[in-house]
């Protein structure tokens, strides 16, 4: 079941508080929400099957791709952007989102 933007915001603001991150929501597209404050941005979107976890920023992609592949057991589902890399993983379990956010919180801001 897809979460509303408000429901996703509630979950992400809880993660931001827990891990010392910053929550951000785009003004135009309310479904576009991310955690930031470290290296790059970790975008989370809700869909009928669960959640998409997207890595944004070249150095974050380099740092976390292997982790995400290990976490999900597979390569990225695809890319959210056509003009630059933004790999994403579609997951059905919120705990995988939480684990990705915890790992993101360990990256160094650049």
Decide: helix, strand or coil at residue 62: helix
Q: 0.85 exceeded by the pTM?
A: yes
* Distance in angstroms (rounded) separating the CA atoms of residues 105 and 42: 10
* Distance in angstroms (rounded) separating the CA atoms of residues 75 and 31: 24
Question: How high is the pLDDT of residue 80?
Answer: 85
Taking only the tens place, the pLDDT of each residue in 46-103 is 998 899 999 999 999 999 999 999 999 999 998 987 777 899 999 999 999 999 999 9
Count of alpha carbons within 13 angstroms of residue 61, beta-carbon side: 14
């Amino acid at each position: 079941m897809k979460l509303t933007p408000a429901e996703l915001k509630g979950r992400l603001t809880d993660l931001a508080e827990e891990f010392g991150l910053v929550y951000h929501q785009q003004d135009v597209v309310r479904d576009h929400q991310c955690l930031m404050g470290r290296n790059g941005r970790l975008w989370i979107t809700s869909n009928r099957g669960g959640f998409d976890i997207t890595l944004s920023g070249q150095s974050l992609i380099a740092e976390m791709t292997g982790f995400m592949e290990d976490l999900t057991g597979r390569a990225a589902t695809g890319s959210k952007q056509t003009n630059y890399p933004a790999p994403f993983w579609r997951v059905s379990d919120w705990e995988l989102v939480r684990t990705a956010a915890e790992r993101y919180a360990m990256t160094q801001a650049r």
